[in-house]
Structure 1
């Protein structure tokens, strides 16, 4: 294995993820969020030559962290297409799936990507650099209602419409091209002493919209049951309540909207059995070592044979 760059992305709750997968050395595993390869390397090291690891990442930067091995496969695609790629590879089902959602440390730290509120760079926020839909396009073209909708839904802002009105007012005076210009434009409506959280929520809303993250996550989650063998493990780490709610609903109730389907005898029909009823949280020691672990929530479930 090569290019073991620990600075690309420090894997969050690494041991907890490995424990959750209950790795069979001869099994087939999928890491749908390869990134810097931290979680993937640890999984791969537990596999025998008979085992197999398949990783997904749509970010071209991530490919540099891949390595050559007969039982390692890098898929340069969005994980919304999980089932299609497994079918093409002739794999009907796998033993475990890991998803570490959100933005990698590398993407945050690479200022030119425009993910961070810490620098003044072009408003980009694309996880897939091949696309042409950027945060700048949203900021310049969405009307007040559209902006308010994403600020409310994806940023969970207290005053989404007020924020949208201020943004449109500012862009009418001068084109907003950079992260710094966006923050300057919204400074009049940023809550006093809570401006850092406010801007983080604005950036989150734009990032989710640019990458259609919730739509992609929904598509992925709906494919997981059919992609796992009986007793196969689904291990998902989320970083905000919108993601965690979908994961929780699927694992607890068998649906993304939280609705429950029962059989004739009143038994809840669901494809998963929760391993941990409450999310696993990072330790204080880990948060001190890696501040990006702070908001992480880990959920683990087992595929049940008669769940559908």
Structure 2
């Protein structure tokens, strides 16, 4: 009897092609991400341990910048304002959901109404900041006129250190609510009508229908809305810069704007101190980003 033919010999590439092919496709993106994101992050952290004006020779000072941050009242004000932004900015999620439920109707003219609510999202942040600056004008602004019509005295919102942060947050909520509304409108278009009909046959309606049937199907939209809203609140810079430039007396500063003041404005040129502020802000974001990635991983495991 003839001996059986030896098994065919496959090359190393043929044996590992399925495992390597995805990484080859990802390699260009990973190289770009590493070069323009990961490396600059570590370079910034390294700069935070130096005293440097951005031009001359950097002097290593260890953790002195972070020790100074601990006792810096302006840094504490900026950090507190960021936390206020974080809490109040999340109001855009339930308000956006409410508007989406209101606009998710098939009545005449609803598309025009939708476009009016969508309009703030496509406007530049600079324009929105300027509009709200005029809105809060204590002399002839619309807000002052509304208070006068209600018999209340006018309030200089952007000049009051106790109110200015809330006034800027209101301006930032204007486009953010529109963004969350768009996400929920998209999610409502994907709600399964058979589940809605089955719930109606079981007697579900109103809040019961919303809580047990609609909201579970809107979970992906809610997740994206919360993620984008939190990241937007932590990197709030443009509204503060346009409306108050951190004033009055630095009471509306946030970490991103304080970093800019210390590192890049004519009042600072302290690159080491500015990057220390940036590192603290990045650390706060990193905690949240890690949580988000963990949630995505858990969801992928459940689906797989």
TM-score when scaled to structure 1? 0.28
More helix by share: 2
More strand by share: 1
Question: Who wins on radius of gyration, i.e. which is larger?
Answer: 2
Higher RCO (C-alpha under 8 Å, 6+ residues apart): 2
TM-score when scaled to structure 2? 0.28
